[in-house]
Amino acid sequence: MNDYFASCAGKLEDLLAEELQALGYEDARPTRGGVRWTGAAASGQRAVLWSRLASRVYQLLLDVPIEDAESVYAAGMQIDWAVQLRGGTRYSIEVSGAAKGIRHTLYAAQRLRDAVQDRLRDGGVSASPVPLDQSQVTVALLLRGGRALIGIDLGHGALHQRAYRQFAGLAPLRETLAAAVLWRAGWPALAKKGLALVDPFCGAGTLLIEGAWMAADVAPGLYRRDRVPVGWQGWSARSWETLIGEADERAETGLRGLRVPLVGQDQDAAAISAARRNLQLAGVAGHVRLQRGDAARLELKGLSADGPGLIVANLPYGERLGDERSLLPVHRDFGARLQAEGLGWRFALLSGGSTLSRATGLKADKVLDWRNGPLDCQLLLGTVQAAPAAREQRPSGDVGEPRFQRPGTTMVYNRLRKNLAHFGRWARRQGLSCYRLYDADLPEYSAAIDLYGDRAHVQEYAAPRDIPEQTASERLEDLLHALRTLLQLPPEHLYVKRRQRRREGSQYGRMDESGEFFEVSERDLRFWVNLADYLDSGLFLDSRDLRARLRERSEGRRVLNLFC
């Protein structure tokens, strides 16, 4: 029997153990950073082929206590590498984890490499250490506190690289995390009942592909079948070919009989295009319906004939200053839509934290704190229930005035509407596409709103210290929701920033590197504007008269404009 270790993302250890037990590994037990079990020679190969949640699968050769990098060398010398590696093999060393006595993992890798080379020389075998992308087998050093695990990476690389995501969206979701979301939501059982899977923020289609593969019994490692450690003596090509043959047959049968409704939607045309190409590469393009549309207008009627299905999504979130505030209306509108149209549907939603999660208004049965790569996130699990009170609905026979749940939203909406009517007429007469719509007219809603064409630039003034952060956040949420409702703004046309006392020069510091420019007009002048990358817009509206005078006095001349 061999000893195996499958690594996974943090906080997914129990879920991975559950999956491996379902694959037949009854002694699979969660441990820090992954799951361990014992099994026959083909056990590790089967995990590489069929585990949807594992990041990597290792066959362990040694598990010993260590104190420092020199003890790593001693550990490496305990393994007969002349028996493990084929002659002429190109191998690499990969280190993960941390240990108290090892400050530099690169040095630990070097000492293990020294041990491998010394034992190979003793055994009369020649093998070459090379970079990871050139190797035929990866020797893994897993540091776990005071212990070192040394083994062979059976998947010869990260298992989330399924070979179908050649076209990524703006915020790609790792395949193993997408599979974890679906597994935790109970999708395999729902798929067997013929219920629908709907992703209203589908992006590059990762959740849809993983969901389709689960429903059709497609092995996640099937499309990366050539990523194997061919330079390792313990690798059985015959056993692997047998497993691949069985997986091919199961996939062919499953896809032929797949009748589960699978629907993806995104308002970004580029995302839909990327998803379509990825679906094609994954072999499920004919089983998934893609459509372009706003999640706040999602239509669920008729999608799941056998009963309410599963709504799954990686909701938009990010790290950039102001991202969370600008996304609050997106979450609120989407949640309101589900409560209006999706009663009884299950949901599994990845969100960027408690503030965004609460904004959906959905009552979750479970909230799990996970991580999406470097980002903290939450997984919301539950069933859509009716809202306790009507949200943003229009009264019968009235197609004009929206109604809001909170009085503050209504108050600020009315002020914005009044300003838009007044300043909008003035701007049109002046031939301006850029003007200030609002400047803390209502003191408790302390922000400036400038319109640049069909986009809104919102600068929140930092609240006084005696105002609780939660109160300030709710007021900004009211303001943004009213603004989006009034102007019918898509999320990508709303830029939210916070103005506060800054050190000298930081006003012009770069916040992002989107390079996103668009054209605006000022009478008969045209300007390129970037609202995403800096705190200020670069086109200061209070300098409009100065620009007009400059234009008059420089007619027929070339002008170098350093301070637009």
Question: Per the structure block, which two tokens stand in for 313?
Answer: 């999504």
Contact between 341 and 300 (Cβ < 8 Å): yes
* Residue 161 maps to a domain: no
The pLDDT of residue 428 is 86
* Residue 104 maps to a domain: yes
The pLDDT of residue 401 is 66
Tens-place pLDDT, residues 461-494: 888 888 888 888 888 888 998 998 898 887 778 8
Question: Would the pLDDT of 394 be above 50?
Answer: no
Mean pLDDT value across residues 309-322: 76
Contact between 155 and 232 (Cβ < 8 Å): no
Contact between 390 and 399 (Cβ < 8 Å): no
The pLDDT of residue 529 is 84
* Residue 165 maps to a domain: no
Q: Return the CATH number at 95.
A: 3.30.2130.30
Mean pLDDT value across residues 368-372: 89
Distance CA 22, CA 28 (A): 10
Which one is predicted more confidently, 84 or 404? 84
pLDDT level of residue 382 (50, 70, 90 thresholds): very high
Number of domains the chain contains: 3
Domain that holds residue 293: 175-221+257-383
Which one is predicted more confidently, 404 or 350? 350
pTM above 0.85, yes or no: no
Residues 413 and 276 in one domain: no
Residues 331 and 434 in one domain: no
Any residues with CB less than 8 A from the CB of 504 and at least 6 apart, and which?
none
The pLDDT of residue 396 is 36
Residue 514 vs residues 317, 530, 531, 552: alpha-carbon distances, Å = 16, 9, 10, 34
Residues 322 and 180 in one domain: yes
Mean pLDDT value across residues 84-107: 92
Question: Would the pLDDT of 391 be above 50?
Answer: no
* Residue 560 maps to a domain: no
Which one is predicted more confidently, 356 or 152? 152
The pLDDT of residue 512 is 55
* Matching residue, tokens 């998934």: 288
Mean pLDDT value across residues 361-383: 89
Distance CA 74, CA 79 (A): 10
Distance CA 402, CA 329 (A): 15
Residues 411 and 372 in one domain: no
Residues 132 and 194 in one domain: no
* Residue 238 maps to a domain: no
The pLDDT of residue 500 is 60
* Residue 391 maps to a domain: no
Residues 146 and 41 in one domain: yes
Amino acid 236 reads S
Distance CA 517, CA 453 (A): 12
Residues 365 and 490 in one domain: no
Residues 55 and 94 in one domain: yes
The pLDDT of residue 347 is 97
* Residue 370 maps to a domain: yes
* E-state strands within 88-196: 90-99, 128-129, 137-145, 147-153
* Residue 188 maps to a domain: yes
Residues 25 and 148 in one domain: yes
Neighbours of 6 (CB within 10 A): 29
Residues 476 and 413 in one domain: yes
pLDDT level of residue 427 (50, 70, 90 thresholds): confident
Neighbours of 559 (CB within 10 A): 9
Question: Per the structure block, which two tokens stand in for 37?
Answer: 């079990």
Residues 209 and 330 in one domain: yes
Domain boundary among 121, 153, 185: 153
Residues 71 and 103 in one domain: yes
Q: Return the CATH number at 440.
A: 3.30.750.80
Distance CA 470, CA 214 (A): 41
Q: Return the CATH number at 309.
A: 3.40.50.150
Domain boundary among 351, 383, 415: 383
Question: Would the pLDDT of 217 be above 60?
Answer: yes
Tens-place pLDDT, residues 338-353: 998 899 999 999 988 7
* Matching residue, tokens 């830029």: 495
Tens-place pLDDT, residues 63-95: 999 999 999 999 999 999 999 999 999 999 999
